[in-house]
Structure 1
Amino acid sequence: MSHLAILCVRNEAAFLLEWLAHHSAVGFDHFLIFSNDCQDGTDVMLDRLQELGHVTHIRNDGPFDKGGIQFTALKAAAKHELVKKAEWILPLDVDEFVNIHCGDHTLSALHTAIPDATAITLTWRLFGAASQVRYADTPVLETFTRAAPAVLYWPWRASMFKTLYRNDGVYKKPGVHRPRDSNEKKLAKARWYDGNGTVLPEQFATKRIFSNFGQDNYGLVQLNHYPLGAMESYVLKADRGRAVHSDDLLGLDYWVERNFNTEEDLTIQSLAGPRNAALKALKSDPALAQMHEDSVSWRSSRFSQLLQKEPFRALFGRLMMTPPSHPVTRQAAQFMIKHANLGRKVHKSAP
């Protein structure tokens, strides 16, 4: 095994097969997937996928560490035999899709383009809701094709990355955005590169979780991020809760900072052929196909239940009243960044 993806899921069965098909086409050899408290059959689907040899499934039912659901899973992953054996590791979420722009658009092509890299930052490119109100059982990658501009000045969260890193002993544990627990004796071996193939400063080897914003970070690779889906799906996401900040309720703030539909980006369709073939193969299994259909039905039923409750009905109404987000100007972003830095200085100087 050369490339391992680690995933945490809850109530994502309607999207799981497309995600697996795409990342198989990208070049991942295996998937270590943790599930928790699933109501839509995601856990049962993962059991079947494990039977077929596509994934390794672990139920992450708690109790959870103080860091939350995802941190608990990644802590367990660090001890797993698959993680110890993997040559390269990338923790992902089910709404994130690796999009490689060089060569044949696979991981092998990316390594050929940056042969010295031991860690590559895959910066998010945010894809908005594309004015989709109701959820439909259509491929995410074909439905949501409008994204934030390649150069975005604000918010800084839009420039967060996930890290594809060589499992060479420099880092002992996988993390949500970057590998953790570095071995100080081996840290000098780390060679961090960004999505353009540019060498990154030393601080990235130990602490950064977002790329420099206000620049295009996507020359060789980007991470297509679909955090919203249709408005209906966002209501279900609010019901599901967050894997990292589980106590934070999803509202309009999260939506507005991610609903960019400024530019069309179809580059991920470069792998449409092998992805569709892989998806067809997965759905050729009658059990998986039925589980997918059942999860689609569950989403419809659950949304109907939620809309009978005032908080979720109010959220859905607000989503429909809120226009797509517009990027702020460079000048406006610099104004906010200036005050953010002033605030940091005040915080550091406080007794």
Structure 2
Amino acid sequence: MKKRSKLPPLMGTMLSFILLLFIFQFPHKSSTRLHLPKPSLRLSIRPNPNPLLQHTASVLLQDWQILVFQFYPSVEASRRMSCLFRDNSVTPARATSFSNAFVCPLPRRLRVRRPFYSPLPVLSDKPVRKQYMNINTFPLMLRWNWIVYESLSTAKDVVVFAKGVNTKQGINRPARELTCLFYSSDNRAPFYTTAVTSSSHEVFRCHHPDLNAIPESTNQIFVSLRIGNSDESSDPLPSVAIYTPPSQQPVLHQKMKICACTMVHNSAKFLPEWVRYHSAIGVEKFFLYDNGSDDRLNLTVNRLQSKRFNISTRFWPWPKSQEAAFSHCAAINRDTCEWMVFIDVDEFVYSPSWSNSSRPGRSMLGSVLPVQPTVGQVSIGCYEFSPSGHRYHPRNGVIQGYTCRRHAEERHKSLVRLDAVDRSLVNSVHHFRLRDEFEWKKVGWARVNHYKYQAWDEFKVKFRRRASAFVPDWMDRVNPASKDRTPGLGFEPVEPAGWAWKFCEVNDTRLGDLTRKWFHRG
């Protein structure tokens, strides 16, 4: 019998290396999660030699989408843009609700190559000079889960929003271990540092820099965080957060009584019904945090604004950041609104005591608020409505279409007195932490109609991702018995048998009957 020849040791080693490389470059087909390698933290402070990339930043989001910021957009920025990658592949860019940012997909053939390099933002109809295509001048992309992504200034301090510092619910890195750094867009070396005074989840507070220390001719100032305040050699987190000095103008306007704040993603078709209803019962202004919508949300908002509805939209593309968005909303609107109701666009505040009213009144929602000045938060129980036999989105809207609900009350939503919110801005989406001198009250005679379980074509969109930071995505195979999951629904966007009539336990048409009377809808 002929003996099988043995491979030389060097050749065997090479084959093993090639096999390992193949395994790591080509993940198993069933894996849809995007796991990013940890890039160099020095990306945030090193200027790029490519002039077309010096004032841009690219962040790799979930679903292989790239968020590209242009901090100094050209006059031509409104023209059609594309993303040019260092292998010469090109993908089209999609505009966002923020004029200085757009989104483009990472080409499929680059998704198996590590590391991930930033694209070059180019005008689709304009050639790129050869010297800009030097592959050595394409920096690594930033990670969405390791970044300082937003900041706002109050009269007393700076509120900074960052991912990656506090990653476990309820466990926060002490503020004394962190430092805020301020640096110019022209010179990335920090010119000022201040102490962090509060650290809670993705929200950090620190002192303002000395405005006299700001270098002359500085166009933009960025703020970042450094972990380890005593070690100046440690690198800051990458940052796309622009610092704005506090306003020196006194607040002269009177606060609005009740405002509403929500996060939206492709909710344009639901928005008119939600805005019209809540405006009629007393909401004076609506704050929308746009979580990467691509359904022409801005056109819907413009139409509503033309009908005198007071709506403000803020670009908020960051995954799993609903709590942070609500913290931002509470902090930035403290001088604008006295109370804020935090609800989703499929949730409607309602009281059965309004049933005899022939028309809505703008004092209705205000009647839910307490008289006592020590009450800082009012919570209202939620009832979850079912698909009610519908296979498609109801033509007359969710209130008229979904008329059957579960029997038991599930969770709550809150109206919050913004002056009563704790300095940490901590919230669980459903309610906020309050300052010690304020109390929390539950109201039993009002409720929230939550049109949660809609027709399957609408409900399955939720499988894109969950907005809350600590709630697993629908396709993550963890916590199958959690209340955040739908009973009987698995981990894949597959319609369960009998979905159209699931969760239908109580026929409830009261709000539908009332809005037909109020708005003459049938």
TM category (shorter chain) comes to 0.5 to 0.7
Task: Find the partner of 1:143 among 401, 404, 408.
Answer: 401
Higher strand proportion (structure 1 or 2): 2
Name the residue aligned to 1:4.
259
Q: 1:84 aligns with which of 335, 339, 342?
A: 335
Note if 1:18 corresponds to 2:273. Answer: yes
Q: Which secondary structure state, in structure 2, belongs to the residue aligned with residue 14 of structure 1? A: coil
1:250/1:97 CA distance change after superposition, 3 Å: farther
**Paired residue for 2:414, among 150, 163, 170?**
163
Q: What is the aligned partner in structure 2 of residue 242 from structure 1?
A: 466
Q: Does 1:226 align with 2:478?
A: no
Larger RCO, structures 1/2 (Cα 8 Å, 6+ apart): 1
Given that 1:25 and 1:275 are in contact with CA atoms closer than 8 Å, whether structure 2 keeps it comes out as no
Tell whether the 8 Å contact from 2:384 to 2:453 is kept in structure 1 after alignment: no
Inter-partner Cα distance in structure 2 for 1:23 and 1:232 = 26
TM-score (norm 2): 0.41
Q: Which residue of 2 aligns with 1:31?
A: 286
Shift of 1:224: 0.7
- 1 CA distance for matches of 2:322 and 2:510? 29
Measured after TM superposition, the shift of residue 265 of structure 1 is 1.4
TM-score by length of 1: 0.59
**Which residues of 2 match residues 128-277 of structure 1 at below 5 A?**
128-149=386-407, 152=408, 159-172=410-423, 173=425, 175=427, 176-180=429-433, 182-184=434-436, 186=437, 189-190=438-439, 192-196=440-444, 220-239=445-464, 241-244=465-468, 247-249=472-474, 254-256=485-487, 259-269=502-512, 271-272=514-515, 276=519
Change (3 A) 1:136 1:148: closer
Match of 1:56 in 2: 312
Deviation at 1:169, TM superposition (A): 2.8
Query: In angstroms, what is the RMSD of aligned CA positions?
Result: 3.0
Q: Please state how far the C-alpha of 1:28 moved relative to its aligned partner.
A: 0.8
Q: Give the direction of change, closer, same or farther, for the CA distance of 1:41–1:170 in structure 2 (3 Å limit).
A: closer
Residues matched between the structures, number: 236
Q: Which runs of 5+ in 1 are unaligned?
A: 153-157, 197-219, 280-351
CA distance in 2, matches of 1:92, 1:83: 18
Q: CA deviation at 1:19?
A: 0.7
Quickly say closer, same or farther: Cα 1:96–1:53, change in 2 above 3 A: closer
Shift of 1:257: 6.8
Question: Contact 2:290–2:314 at 8 Å: present in 1 too?
Answer: yes
CA distance in 2, matches of 1:193, 1:76: 23
CA distances 1:313-336 after superposition (whole Å, capped 9, x unpaired): xxxxxxxxxxxxxxxxxxxxxxxx
Deviates more, 1:9-18 or 1:170-179: 170-179
Show the counterpart of 2:346.
Answer: 95
Once the two structures are superposed, what CA deviation does each residue of 1:94-125 show, in whole Å capped at 9, x if it has no partner?
111111223557213334xx533542211110
For 1:29 and 1:100, locate their aligned partners in 2 and report how far apart those are by CA, in whole Å: 19
Deviations 1:137-158 (A, max 9, x none): 3310011011111xx3xxxxx5
Q: Deviations over 1:279-315 (max 9, x none)?
A: 9xxxxxxxxxxxxxxxxxxxxxxxxxxxxxxxxxxxx
Instruction: Report percent identity of matched pairs.
Output: 23
